[in-house]
Structures are given as C-alpha cells and as structure tokens.
Amino acid sequence: MSDPSDRSPPPHTAAKPAAASPDTERLARVIARAGLASRREAERWVQEGRVEVNGVVVWHPGHPVDPARDHVKVDGKPLPPPPPLVYYLLYKPKGTITSREDPDGRKSVIDLVEGLPERVEPVGRLDFNTEGALLLTNDGDLAHALTHPARGVPKRYLAKVWRTPTEKTLERLRRGVYLEDGRTAPALVRVVDDTEAGNCWLEITVTEGRNHLVRRMLETVGHPCNKLRRESFATISIRGMERGEVRALSAEEVARLRDIAEGKDPALAGHAFKYKKGFARPKAQANKPLSRKKAQRRRLSGRSGGPGGKGGGGRKGSGGPTGGGNG
C-alpha cells in the first residue's frame, strides 16, 4: 500500500475507470457487500486512497472489480467474505434519527439495533419526530430499488392533524398539492377518526420519498400535523409491534419486497396465483409498460389488471387505503 500520508490521487488514476465486463461490479459496492460500510462510506474510503485492488491503490469508487478474481484490500486488510443477506423491521420511536451519525449527538436508530449480528442500514428515512415502520437490511440492491423514485413504493402513514379537513381538502391531497419542490403525486387519503378536541387522524398513503413530504402536504392545506406514524413501508407493517422493537422479516415478506422492488403491483406481490379452469386470464397486454402516472395510480388503488378483474387486486380486503398491502 502506498504511503498513507500522501492521499491525493495521482492525476492519471482520477479519471473514470475502463468499461466494466459482465463479471465485474463497482468497487464501492463490493466493499459495501462485504458488510464493512455503507456504499457511500465505501465510496469515501476509495476516494481517500484507503483501498487497493491487486496491490494497486484505486481512486475511483466505480472501478470495475471481479469479486471472484480480484483481491481487494481496505487499509491493507483483505475483504471478508460477504455475510448472508438479512432483513429487519424496526418500529422506530420518535426522537431518533435514521442516519448513522449526527453532528448534534442525537440518538440514532442504529443504537437500537446494535445487538444484531450483521451490519444493517435503514431503507430510506424518517424524520426525528416521526415514528413507525423502518426497514433495515444489508441488501444494498434491494434497498436501492425500494427507494428509487421510479418504483413509487407505497408508504402508509397515520397523521394527527389540526381540525378535520373538508372533503374538498381531502380531494386536493388525493390529487396532489403544490409544494416548493413540485406537485405531489396522487395519494390515498381518508379520515380515520375524530378526536374529542375537534382534531382528527388521517390515513395517508404516498408513493414518493421526498423530505418531510407528509408534514408539508398537510401544512400546505392548512391542517398541520403534530403526530406522524408510518404504519407500513412497501406493505411491511408494524402491526402488533411495540415502539423500539425490531423483528426479522418472514420469508414471505422478503419475497413480497423483492417482487415490489422488481415493479410488481404491491397488491399482488408475494402471491403466486393459480388461474381457475374456465375463468378468463388477464390478456398479455397486462405486461405492457404503463406510463409513470398510470402505474402510480394503479399502485395506489391496488388495481392489478390481473386475476380478480377490475379492482380485484387479488387480496381479500384490498379495497382499503393501504394500496392493497398488509399494512
């Protein structure tokens, strides 16, 4: 390894690496998969000159590496073999942050899962004052797919808001409201309960992952929210859990997440349907790619175009505001 005191990239190595072959992966991804760091941290390590491939310091996080043939070392130590992929759900309590470290020293959700044998990362974010469903995994690819804006996975919230919105206001929230970073995508919204003090609990299912999205939507329509809980993420629900509790996902839940990550309708994800003899099967055009807007509307309504026909969604009770999920 080169002298660690000299950690600026030599000019000829700072350029983009050569094109990858089918057997190669990005260097930062290989380091992250070994369970040593998140992808972002691994990228930083590479840029700091702490990583060598086959005895040569490499400065580009996207450098193509064949994990079966190339020898990667971090700080002079070979990478351990990748750990098994694991998936957990945490009922995040309010008053915790979802990033690993905080300059203000606030408590992180990572402190709550310290006892887990594997190093896991939260999938997406929740605000300091929001509680509820937070997935944690070391499967970076799945996490990436589930948080990709184009995937639009459903996230179901309960929000306690000031006063009770009129039907017209609920409709505005459903259709999309204008925020400073653009109009919100269609959402499912309904009043769940009124409180004695004249306020109410709303259930809101959104498909975007913008910062403070739900709070900003509610503020914009004049019903600020003072309590927010995420009931489910991509149909994986905290039902029956206590605040601060963490549980491993079942094999069925992991299969469901993989389906959703691949773009399957959340109402059908994790289900292998059998078509009954004598009943019509969906036409082949069910696989035709939908426009982004149409796909978003379908995900929210739980309408699949699959078995069960219009609005069927295939799952009992899927007509609710959960987007057909289990939340």
Give residues in contact with ligand URA (CB under 6 A): 126-127, 130, 212-215, 228
**Distance between CA atoms of 13 and 222, rounded to whole angstroms?**
54
Three-state DSSP class for residue 103:
coil
CB 200 to ligand URA: min, Å: 17
- Which residues are identified as catalytic? 127
Nearest residue (CB) to ligand URA, 212 versus 294:
212
**Distance between CA atoms of 196 and 191, rounded to whole angstroms?**
14
CB 127 to ligand URA: min, Å: 3
Helices (DSSP H) in 67-134: which residue ranges?
109-112
Which residues lie across from 228 on neighbouring strands?
Answer: 130, 159
Contact 227, 95 (CB under 8 A): no
CB 184 to ligand URA: min, Å: 11
Three-state DSSP class for residue 299:
helix
CB 220 to ligand URA: min, Å: 12
**Distance between CA atoms of 167 and 293, rounded to whole angstroms?**
23
Cα 204 to Cα 41, 127, 182, distances in angstroms: 34, 16, 19
Closest by CA to 297, choosing from 207, 235, 171, is 207
CB 181 to ligand URA: min, Å: 13
Closest by CA to 232, choosing from 129, 302, 153, is 153
Nearest residue (CB) to ligand URA, 51 versus 187:
187
Structure tokens at 260: 């959703």
Stated length of the chain = 327
Three-state DSSP class for residue 179:
strand
Nearest residue (CB) to ligand URA, 126 versus 173:
126
CB 194 to ligand URA: min, Å: 22
Nearest residue (CB) to ligand URA, 147 versus 318:
147
110 contact partners, CB below 8 Å, separation of at least 6: 100
CB 51 to ligand URA: min, Å: 34
136 contact partners, CB below 8 Å, separation of at least 6: 87, 88, 89, 90, 109, 113, 116, 120, 121, 122, 123, 246
Between strands 182-183 and 178-179, the pairing is: antiparallel
Nearest residue (CB) to ligand URA, 66 versus 162:
162
Residue 314 region by backbone torsions, left for phi larger than 0, else alpha for psi between -120 and 50, else beta: left
Closest by CA to 322, choosing from 133, 128, 164, 127, is 133
Nearest residue (CB) to ligand URA, 40 versus 212:
212
Nearest residue (CB) to ligand URA, 223 versus 303:
223
